[in-house]
Structure 1
Amino acid sequence: MGADTKKGAVHIIDIEGRSAAEIADSLRTLIERGALRPGDALPPVRTLAEHLGVNRNTAVSAYRQLMNAGVVITLGRGGTRVAGGAAVAQEGFAADTALRDIGTGNPDPARIPDPSHALASIARRPVLYGEPVIDPDLARWAQDWMSADLPPEIPMHLTVTSGAGDAVERLLAQALTRDDAVALEDPCFLTSIHTVRVAGYRPVPVPIDDEGMTVEGLRAALDHGVRAVICTPRAQNPTGASLSERRAAELRAVLRDHPYVLVIEDDHYSLLSQLPYHSLIGPEHRRWALVRSVSKFLGPDMCLAVTASDPETADRLAMRLTPGTTWVSHLLQRLVRALATDPEITAGIRAAGQHYAARNAAFAELLTTEGIPTSAGDGLNVWVPLTAPARAVSEQLMRRGWLARPGDEFALGGGEASDHLRLTVHDLDDDDLQKLAADLGASVRAVRR
C-alpha cells in the first residue's frame, strides 16, 4: 500500500526500519521520490514508534538525524514537517518589502571603498593554465597579514578561495564524510548552518557567551566525537561575541588532547574589528585553518578569502582548487591587494570599523533607556535580548514599519535565541535610531500585555 501524499497528511504506512539510521533512510527515500513533499507532516514520535515496534528514543533519534541534515524541521506543537527549499534562512536584504529592513547583516555601501582607481592599475599580462594559483603580490601581502596573528613556530601555508563560505565548505569536504559531526556555535552564522546541513554533516551545538565558545560546550562536543570545530574568534554572527584572551587559553587547553580535530577559525570581521585577535589554535595543534575574507570591508561582491592552514590541510585544499577551473581570478586577487595596501583605503576601513562600533553602541544605549538592557558587541549587528518571544515582537515591529530578524533563525539547539533579535542599524541616522528604539520598546510591551 502506498503512502498518502495529500498535502499536510501524516504518512506512516511506507516508513520502515528498526534502527534510527534505517528509519531516517526510509524517510529520506520517501522524500526523494516525492511521496513526502515540502510541508508534509511526519507522524508523531509515539505513533511512529508504536507502528514500527521500536523504542520511542529510536524514533526521536531518526527525526533528529533528519533535522540536523536540514531534511525536516520541527515546529514545536506544529509537529515535524518536511523542510522546503528555504529551510535555512539566508543573509541579505529581504526581497519585495516596503518595510525598513533592519535584518540585512550588510556593511554600509557608503563605506565600501571605490575600486575604480585601483582597477586601472591591475591590468597585466594574461594568466595561463599551469601557473601558480595565488598571485605573488597578494601572497606576500597575505603572508604578512596572517602570520602576524599566528604563533611563529607553526608551519603555515596559504590558499585563496572564493570567499569564506567557499573556504569552509572545501575545508570540511577534504576532512569529513557524510554524517560526521561538526561543532558549531549556537546561535550560529547562517552560512555555516547551511553548509553543514547541505553536506549531510551532523551539527553539534556549542553554547556561547560574551567571551565566545564555552569551555564546557566545546568539551561536550569533543566527547560527542566531532571531527571539526568552526569558531568565530571576533564579532561572532549573530551575537557580536569575541574570544577573550582567558577564554581562548582555556579552549586551547581543551583542544590539546584532540590535536587532529580540524579547527576552522572564521575571522570574517578582521580589519574592521575593534578587538584583538585571540585564537583557539595552539602551537601543538595538527589540523587547523584560519580563514579571513575581504567581503566585510571591501564589499560582498569581492568574493575572496585567504586561508592559512597546516601543510597537510593546505595540500588537500589545493587539490580542490584546480588551476584554470576553480581558482580565484588573478584580476580579483590583484584588485584586493591593490585596495588593501592603499593607505587612504586602509584608513577608511579603520574609520568604518569605528563607525559601526559607535552606531551600535549608541543604539544599545537607547535600548537600555527604553528598558531593554543591551550591550553592543563587535561586528555589524546588535544582538538584542528581549523579555518576550522575538517572533511576536518582530510582528509588532512590522506594524510599525520595521522588518527585523528573530534570533531563532540562527539557533541550533533552541535556548535563549528565540528571545533575541539580530538588528543591523549602523546605517540609521540619529532620528531613526531613536524611533526604532522607541518602537521596539513599545513592541515588547505590547507582546507582554
Structure 2
Amino acid sequence: MITIDRRLDISLTRQVYEQIRTQILNGELAAGECLPPTRELASNLGISRNVVVEAYEQLLAEGYVEARQGSGTYVAEGAYLSQQERTECLSFFEIQYLKDERNDFIDFRSGIPALDMFPRHIWGQIAKRVCIETPHSVFGYGYPEGRIELRHILSRYLKRTRGVHCHPDQLVITSGATQALSLIAKLLLSPGDEVMIEDPITHEIQTIFSSTGAVLHPIPVDEHGMKTDLIPQNKKPRFIFVTPSHQFPLGGTLPIQRRIQLIQFARKVDCFIVEDDYDSEFRYQEAPINSLQGLDPDRVIYIGTFSKILSPALRLGYLVLPLSLTKRCKDLKWFTDLHTPSLEQLTLARFIDERHLERHIRKMKKIYKTRRDHLKKCLVEQFGTKVKISGDSTGLHLIAEFQNIEFSNEKVQEIMAEHKVKIYPVELHTIHKGMHQSKIILGYGNLTIEEIEAGIYRLKSALI
C-alpha cells in the first residue's frame, strides 16, 4: 500500500521512495519479492512514471533493491531490520502549543540582556559589508585562536575599558564563556586536582569543573565577594575561580585588599587565578572596576563574553591567557571545533572598532538602571520591610532576601505552576547548603517595566 499526498511539503519521488523503503526495512516486502513495474505503479497512483523510476533508482543506489535484466526490480537480500520501539517526538503543532502556553510566564532569569534592544540595523549593515568586502580566504578554514583582526581590536578595547594587559597572541576567541570554561577545565584539571571556588557560584560552572574529576573546595562569599582570609594556607589548588568585579550571584565587588591577598596566595603556592568578568560593564554607581588580570597578567586567566552585552545567540566569548598556556589552549580549541565562525568575528571586530559597542553599552546602562530601580520600587511597595535588597550595583540581576521564607525546589515549582512567575533561589548555586535559603535571584535585563510589575505582584500572591 502506497499513498500519495500532494499537500505535503515532500516531493512525490520522496514519498514513493520512503514508503517502499519502510516496507522493506519492516519486512512487509520480503527479500526476493518483485516490485510492481514502474508504469503500472505510476498508473495506480496517478503520478508520472518518471517519479516512480527516480524512486526505484534511489532504492537501487542504496542497496534496498536489485534490478534483474529483463525480469524486473526485486527486494534485495539482507535489507530487513527488526524495528525497536521508538520514542515519539512532539509534532510541530504540539511544540508550538507548549511554547504558547509558556508565553504568559514572567521569567526573572538572570544574565539575559534586553533581546529586543539588540542593535539589529547596525549589526546587519556591518555583517553585509563583511560578507561583500572580505577576501575569499575568509570563507575557508580559520585559526583556532580566532581572527587576528578581532584579537587586535579586542586587546585594545580591553586595555581601554577593563584595564586588561594582553598581546593579541594571548587571546583565544571562543564560542561563549561556556566553551572558555570548558577549555580551562581540560587545560588545567585532572582527576583529584583541587579547585578553590566561590560559594555560592553558578551551578553550571561547578558542573564543568567537577566533571573532570577535580575536587571543589568552596570559599564563602560575603557582600564584598570571596572571603580571602578563609583560604586554607596549606592547600595547593590548580587554580582559584573568582568573579571579582560582580560576584555571582550575591553581587559583591572584591576590594583591592582582597585582590592583593588572592594574588599573594597564588604566587606562594604557584597556581593560577581564573577571573570570570561576565557583566561588569553595567555598573550603575561608578565607572566599571578594573580587572584583576591587570594586577598580575602572568598569573590570571581572564574570561569575557558578549552574551550579556549583546546577545547569547552570537556565541562569542574569549580567553586572555598567560603566554605559557596559549599554545596548549589553541590545540585544545582546534580539537573542539576548529575555530569560532569567522564572519561573526569580523562583524564584531568592526562593531567594536567603530565604537558601536561602547555606544550600545552606554545606552543599555540607562535602560537597565531604569528597570533595576523599578524592580526595587515594586519589591518595596509589595513587601515593605519584609524584603532586603542587595547585589544591585552592577549587572542584570539583584538579590531579594525575604523574612521567614525558605525557597526550596518544591516551592519554586509551585510558584511557577500556580502563579506563572519563574524565580531562582540562590541556594541552587551553593556548594554548602543551608546558608542562603531565604534569598532569590531576580534578573531584570530582558523584562519590561510592565512585566516587572506583574511579576512582583504574582510573587507576592504566591508568598503571602
TM-score, normalised relative to structure 2: 0.67
d(CA) in 2 for partners of 1:154, 1:284 = 14
d(CA) in 1 for partners of 2:223, 2:354 = 34
Q: Counterparts of 1:179-194 in structure 2 under 5 Å?
A: 179-194=192-207
Q: Does structure 1 retain, via aligned residues, the 8 Å contact 2:193–2:214? A: yes
Q: Does structure 2 retain, via aligned residues, the 8 Å contact 1:156–1:310? A: no
Aligned twin of 2:398: 382
**Which 5+ residue runs of structure 2 have no aligned equivalent?**
1-97
Among candidates 98, 107, 126, match of residue 137 of structure 2? 126
Among candidates 185, 193, 213, match of residue 200 of structure 1? 213
Q: Does structure 2 retain, via aligned residues, the 8 Å contact 1:243–1:278? A: no
Paired residue type of 2:388: P
d(CA) in 1 for partners of 2:110, 2:168 = 38
Distance apart, 1:362 and its partner CA: 2.8
Distance apart, 1:224 and its partner CA: 3.7
d(CA) in 2 for partners of 1:318, 1:432 = 43
Paired residue type of 2:407: A
SS in 2 for 1:390: coil
d(CA) in 2 for partners of 1:132, 1:436 = 43
SS in 1 for 2:197: strand
Aligned twin of 1:267: 277
Distance apart, 1:202 and its partner CA: 1.4
Mark the CA change 1:154 to 1:224 in structure 2 (over 3 Å): closer, same or farther. Answer: farther
Paired residue type of 1:237: F
Distance apart, 1:396 and its partner CA: 5.9
Paired residue type of 1:390: F
Aligned twin of 2:95: none
Distance apart, 1:305 and its partner CA: 1.6
Deviation track 1:187-220 (CA, whole Å, cap 9, x = no partner) reads 1113312211322221221221222111123x13
Q: Counterparts of 1:355-434 in structure 2 under 5 Å?
A: 355-369=367-381, 370=383, 371=385, 372-375=387-390, 376-387=392-403, 388-391=405-408, 394=412, 397-398=415-416, 399-434=418-453
SS in 2 for 1:320: helix
d(CA) in 2 for partners of 1:186, 1:318 = 30
Which has the greater radius of gyration? Answer: 2
Aligned twin of 2:225: 212
Pairing 1:167–2:184 present? no
Distance apart, 1:154 and its partner CA: 9.7
Mark the CA change 1:323 to 1:204 in structure 2 (over 3 Å): closer, same or farther. Answer: closer
Q: Does structure 2 retain, via aligned residues, the 8 Å contact 1:112–1:297? A: no
Among candidates 230, 252, 259, match of residue 248 of structure 1? 259
Distance apart, 1:170 and its partner CA: 0.9
Aligned twin of 1:117: 125
Mark the CA change 1:153 to 1:435 in structure 2 (over 3 Å): closer, same or farther. Answer: closer
d(CA) in 1 for partners of 2:443, 2:164 = 34
Mark the CA change 1:412 to 1:157 in structure 2 (over 3 Å): closer, same or farther. Answer: same
Mark the CA change 1:299 to 1:250 in structure 2 (over 3 Å): closer, same or farther. Answer: same
Distance apart, 1:336 and its partner CA: 1.3
d(CA) in 2 for partners of 1:286, 1:415 = 37
Q: Does structure 2 retain, via aligned residues, the 8 Å contact 1:295–1:301? A: yes
Mark the CA change 1:431 to 1:116 in structure 2 (over 3 Å): closer, same or farther. Answer: closer
Distance apart, 1:439 and its partner CA: 4.2
Q: Does structure 1 retain, via aligned residues, the 8 Å contact 2:378–2:456? A: yes
Paired residue type of 1:227: R
Q: Does structure 2 retain, via aligned residues, the 8 Å contact 1:131–1:323? A: no
d(CA) in 2 for partners of 1:143, 1:361 = 34
Deviation track 1:156-175 (CA, whole Å, cap 9, x = no partner) reads 72221221111121122112
Q: Does structure 1 retain, via aligned residues, the 8 Å contact 2:199–2:218? A: yes
d(CA) in 2 for partners of 1:249, 1:361 = 33
Aligned twin of 1:304: 316
Kindly report the root-mean-square deviation, in angstroms, between the aligned alpha carbons of the 2 structures.
3.0
Distance apart, 1:286 and its partner CA: 4.2
Among candidates 131, 141, 148, match of residue 136 of structure 1? 148
SS in 2 for 1:199: coil
Paired residue type of 1:423: L
SS in 1 for 2:388: coil
d(CA) in 1 for partners of 2:151, 2:168 = 16
SS in 2 for 1:121: helix
SS in 2 for 1:296: coil
TM-score, normalised relative to structure 1: 0.69
Deviation track 1:305-343 (CA, whole Å, cap 9, x = no partner) reads 222221111222112123995211221210111222333
Q: Does structure 2 retain, via aligned residues, the 8 Å contact 1:111–1:348? A: no
Q: Counterparts of 1:84-123 in structure 2 under 5 Å?
A: 97=102, 99-103=105-109, 105-114=111-120, 115-123=123-131
Deviation track 1:50-94 (CA, whole Å, cap 9, x = no partner) reads xxxxxxxxxxxxxxxxxxxxxxxxxxxxxxxxxxxxxxxxxxxx9
Distance apart, 1:138 and its partner CA: 0.9
d(CA) in 2 for partners of 1:426, 1:298 = 11
| Most deviating of 364-373 and 327-336 | 364-373
Paired residue type of 2:412: S
Mark the CA change 1:188 to 1:284 in structure 2 (over 3 Å): closer, same or farther. Answer: closer
d(CA) in 1 for partners of 2:362, 2:253 = 18
Number of residues paired by the alignment?
Answer: 349
Mark the CA change 1:252 to 1:361 in structure 2 (over 3 Å): closer, same or farther. Answer: farther
d(CA) in 1 for partners of 2:207, 2:167 = 31
Distance apart, 1:184 and its partner CA: 1.9
